[in-house]
Structure 1
Amino acid sequence: MNGSFPTGGFGSGSPFGGSGGSGGPGAAIFDALDQLRKSFDQRPGGSTRMARGDVRAAVLSLLAEEPMHGYQIIREIEDRSGGSWKPSAGSVYPTLQLLADEGLVSAEEQNGRKTYSLTEAGRAVADEADAPAPWKSSDSSRGAHHHAALAKAGMDLAGAAAQFARSGDSEQIDKAVEVLDDARRKLYAILAQD
């Protein structure tokens, strides 16, 4: 990484980082989470934001496989990109509406949700697309996948630590600190290997 984490872990003075001041362990956890999030925001390679046309290509690619509702499309794009790209509902639903206006998708109400599927014209457009799906399109997106997977794992671990701060007793917190310190040492050992 970029060396933004001190060797003692997140912050100091409290087993969970921060200053251990008046906010208590919960505030320290949120400080640590914010520090972790910011360290990934500063990573090399820039933004994982995709271009407007990529949402259209992704939607067509997914609907070529099977009908889906909007939330499924968002979730599939996030899963297939390894978490590096999660389009907002504000980009997916207007894209679906535009594709419907163009006669490329149709919507059907199923179980209280609109499920979208390709029309014949939409299937022809999807079949003609010779570019890979946007989440497969470049080495930089694969690199972003690795960064996103690392960020997700770090945030999941920090979330588990936050749960200990909220509901663990002293003995459980001591054990959690040991596990986290061991994990930190093992991570640095991996970086130290040639």
Structure 2
Amino acid sequence: MYAKKHRPGWGDREMRRPAFGPWGGPDSSWGQGGGPGGFGRGHGHGGRGRGRGGRARRGDVRASILALLAERPMHGYEMIREIAERTQDAWKPSPGSVYPTLQLLEDEGVIAGEESGGKKLFALTEAGREEAAAQPEGTAPWDAVNQGFDREGSREARTAVFQVADALRQVMATGSEDQRAKAFAVMNDARKKLYLILAEAE
């Protein structure tokens, strides 16, 4: 057994803090989100399952939810936080991937939700416990994300992204219209060059 932009209506309102780059969401714009997306808009470079930066397949969100609920009942944001902690922020699924999956699992009768303290607490049903128990030991999606993840490189990338974000914020706050336009052009050019690096390696 498996042992700054939050959309209104998707889960708990406590999730406010923005994240960046690989620590942002797969369905976020640059610099915001909640899972291992790309350095850019949308789903980053490609959409082929788990790969660079700890990207996870859609099925991994379902498997992770079942694995976590096999341990104890949780609400949606708690699951996002648990996955991020267990992968040391290598993978932080977005609310836009977690909450629809929770709704689907509830519709399938695999989990049941109950309002508790202003939040919806989810727990496995009998069918959910059977599905979770059918998974091999030690195959939780976050285990695969953790294998071979370059944490030193991750820290360096995080620092670089925050430094670039700070510089961009300063230009946006104090620069002229022409300077802002140049800053956006630089960011767009950098994004294209990063994707080009990946393309050249393939």
- Superimposed CA distance per residue, residues 55-107 of structure 1 (whole angstroms, 9 cap, x where no aligned partner): 00111111111111100111111111111111110100011011111111000
* 2:142 alignment counterpart: 135
1:77 and 2:56 are equivalent in the alignment? no
More helix by share: 1
- Contact in 1 for aligned 2:90/2:145 (Cα 8 Å): no
Question: For 1:137, what is the secondary structure of its paired residue?
Answer: helix
Quick one: structure 1 residues 49 and 119, their matched pair in 2 at CA, closer, same or farther if it must change by over 3 Å?
A: same
Partner SS state of residue 90, structure 2: coil
Match of residue 96, structure 2, among 82, 90, 104? 90
Give the aligned length: 120
How big is the alpha-carbon RMSD for the aligned residues of Structure 1 and Structure 2? Answer: 3.0
| 2:47 is the alignment partner of 1:54 | no
Partner residue, 2:113: 107
Q: Which runs of no fewer than 5 residues in structure 1 stay unpaired? A: 1-37, 166-194
TM-score normalised by L of structure 2: 0.50
Q: Which amino acid in structure 2 is aligned with residue 48 of structure 1?
A: G
Q: What is the CA-CA distance between 1:143 and the residue it aligns to? A: 1.4
What are the within-5 Å matches in structure 2 for residues 10-49 of structure 1?
A: 46-49=52-55
Is the Cα contact below 8 Å between 1:83 and 1:145 reproduced in 2?
A: no
Sequence identity (%): 47
Q: Is the 8 A contact 1:48 1:85 kept in 2?
A: yes
- Cα distance per residue 1:158-193 (max 9 Å; x no partner): 6xx99xx9xxxxxxxxxxxxxxxxxxxxxxxxxxxx
**Does the residue aligned with 2:52 lie in a helix, a strand or coil?**
coil
- Matched residue SS, 2:149: helix
Following TM superposition, by how much is the alpha carbon of 1:155 offset from its aligned partner in structure 2, in angstroms?
6.4
| Matches of 2:162 and 2:96, distance apart in 1 | 30
Q: TM-score, normalised by structure 1?
A: 0.52
Structure 1 pair 156–97 and aligned structure 2 pair: CA distance change class (3 A): same
- 1:148 matched to 2:186: no
Q: Which amino acid aligns with 1:135?
A: W
Deviation per CA, 1:112-132, whole angstroms, max 9, x where unpaired? 000111111101100101161
SS in 2 for 1:53: helix
**Matched-pair contact (CA < 8 Å) for 1:83–1:148:** no
- 1:143 partner SS: coil
The alpha carbon displacement at 1:138 in A equals 5.8
8 Å contact kept, 2:54–2:149? no
Which ranges in structure 2 are unaligned for 5 or more consecutive residues?
A: 1-38, 46-50, 171-202
Letter in 2 for 1:120: E
What is the alpha-carbon distance in structure 2 between the residues aligned to residue 146 and residue 90 of structure 1?
A: 29
